[in-house]
Amino acid sequence: MREINADVIRVMSISLVVMFHLNILTIGWVGVDLFLFLSGYFAKMSLDKYSSYQFILKRAYRVTPAFIFSIVVILFASCVLLPSLFISENLLFFISPIGHVFNILLYHKDFDYFNSVNWALPTLHLWSLSLEVQLYFFIAVLYPIVSKLKSSILHIIKWFIPICFYFMFFKSDISSEYFNPIFRSYMFFVGFSFLNSSKIYTFFTITLYSLIIGSVYCFILLLLPFLIGINIGIENLPKHVLSKIKKLAHYSYEVYLIHWPIICFYNWYA
């Protein structure tokens, strides 16, 4: 996948997420899945070059500084702007993102992400970062072991896992499984296997996921990584357009960290 193709996916991902949080696009939540696809894709590239230890260090260097700064600002702003009773009643929701276990907490609390009543938490968006960090550690441990298996065994596993996943979650309620670490890791592993998979396999895995979430629109959106992974001439766009795409992609992580607290604090006082 060309770098500009990946930048296009980054821009589309953060745009979808922001539009979802602004109540502009109801299916914008699949932007998270596009992010996870890219995370898996680049995790595979990185683990092919570096050891697991080096991989974790590089990811920590990329993720941690901006995260620490944003969480400090969010907690400080919350203490100043939000009612103390609300903070005390939801203290665990404010603290758990620091340990990158927020998604697990939300899942066990049966937190309904699609209920706007629950959108009062300025840390709510950090659940996906918790999931991403967990997947980085998981794959860093697993990949050196799995990579030693014979290619025939790997091929069987690669086709077997998505089919099992489909039967596990086919009739599930998406709102109840939204924070399920297993359910939400699917697109990460699709991205992880993208480099060594045929286009048919990628199409197959994304189709299964789209059938589970039950939307043809989501299928179209989730198929974009597959389409952009093919050379469709994005690099031939005008230079000023490519420059803007690269700049937006470069700051996509920072936009992810700050956009929801801003929206949340605004909603508190609107």
Domain extent listing, the chain: 3-269
The per-residue DSSP string of 20-79 comes to HHTTS-TTGGGHHHHHHHHHHHHHHHHHHHS-HHHHHHHHHHHHHHHHHHHHHHHHHHHH
The residue-averaged pLDDT of 46-59 equals: 94
The residue-averaged pLDDT of 75-96 equals: 91
Judged against a pLDDT cut of 90, whether residue 230 lies above it is answered with no
Q: Which of 96-110, 171-185, 218-232 has the highest mean pLDDT?
A: 96-110
Judged against a pLDDT cut of 90, whether residue 175 lies above it is answered with no
Judged against a pLDDT cut of 90, whether residue 74 lies above it is answered with yes
In the prediction, which pLDDT does 174 show? 80
What is the model's pTM?
0.91
Higher pLDDT, 228 or 165: 165
In the prediction, which pLDDT does 37 show? 92
In the prediction, which pLDDT does 49 show? 92
In the prediction, which pLDDT does 238 show? 78
The residue-averaged pLDDT of 80-104 equals: 91
Average pLDDT, the chain: 88
In the prediction, which pLDDT does 147 show? 85
Distance in Å from the first CA to the final CA of the chain: 43
In the prediction, which pLDDT does 95 show? 92
Judged against a pLDDT cut of 90, whether residue 64 lies above it is answered with yes
- Total count of residues recorded for the chain: 270
Q: Which of 161-175, 195-209, 253-267 has the highest mean pLDDT?
A: 253-267
Residue 110 gets the label, from left (phi > 0), alpha (psi -120 to 50) or beta, of left
Place of tokens 């065994």: 153
Q: Which of 180-189, 197-206, 235-244 has the highest mean pLDDT?
A: 180-189
Decide: helix, strand or coil at residue 180: coil
